[in-house]
Amino acid sequence: MAQRIAFLASDAPVAQTARAALVGRYDDCPPENADVIVALGGDGFMLQTLHATQDLNAPVYGMNRGTVGFLMNEYAETDLLNRLMIAEEEVINPLSMRATTADGKVHEALAINEVSMLRQGPQAAKLRIWIDERLRLDELVCDGALLATPAGSTAYNYSAHGPILPIGSDVLALTAIAPFRPRRWRGALVRKESVVRLEVMNPEKRPVMADADSRSVRDVISVEIRSEPAVGHRILFDPGHGLEERLIREQFV
């Protein structure tokens, strides 16, 4: 039975050109009617596509028309139907962010890679960290802090010197961004089931913003983060090039 494919592309000209070529070869259908969604772009567009299609049954197969392409497969116009048939599926759960701002409003968002808190002005942020309602760090002076999933551990988390986590591991990486005090604190691993709460100290003098996969909320006073098992993002990879292999390979380059 032929697969119904929805082709989605970023605004980059190279991605739009690839989409036109693939639609001409394989036809196209709306995402809600598709058996599989093919995303053409970089990792940022892949994250956008996963968020936009999370309520659909179709898995997403990415082909790299961006820069890094950690979540993408190699681009090729030929043999796509066979590649889709033999692709291996990974299911990842996002993080749920609940951010409270200084005006008392609550903002909710999901993040596939990480939820981060970042200083909003020239002053360093001062954060207090709670894990499962227990105070673990009474003051962290830093540029920010983030909580990353295994799938997102090679992104911002890794650039902030956080650990790479094996895919499927039941832990999340809590990582400081440019910590000043405690000077030697380099983060922690927490259970996937844990609830992490970050509170902003002196928010008037030291304003902080929260970010969930590039969706930002300014002037936050606290952020609560937990894994969201009710949402499962289905991603397809070519055999032998899944997330587990990529995460291992990334540690030996």
As a whole number of angstroms, the distance between CA 69 and CA 87 comes to 17
As a whole number of angstroms, the distance between CA 183 and CA 144 comes to 14
| Alpha helices per DSSP H over the chain | 13-26, 43-52, 80-86, 156-159, 243-250
Q: In the structure encoding, which two tokens stand for residue 250, read together? A: 């990334």
As a whole number of angstroms, the distance between CA 65 and CA 79 comes to 17
As a whole number of angstroms, the distance between CA 51 and CA 38 comes to 14
| Cα 19–Cα 25–Cα 28 angle in degrees, nearest 5 | 60
3-class state of residue 164 by DSSP = coil
Catalytic residues: 43
Q: What are the CA-CA distances from residue 99 to residues 47, 104, 193, 246 (Å)?
A: 20, 10, 19, 32
Q: What are the CA-CA distances from residue 41 to residues 19, 75, 169, 181, 251 (Å)?
A: 10, 10, 28, 39, 24
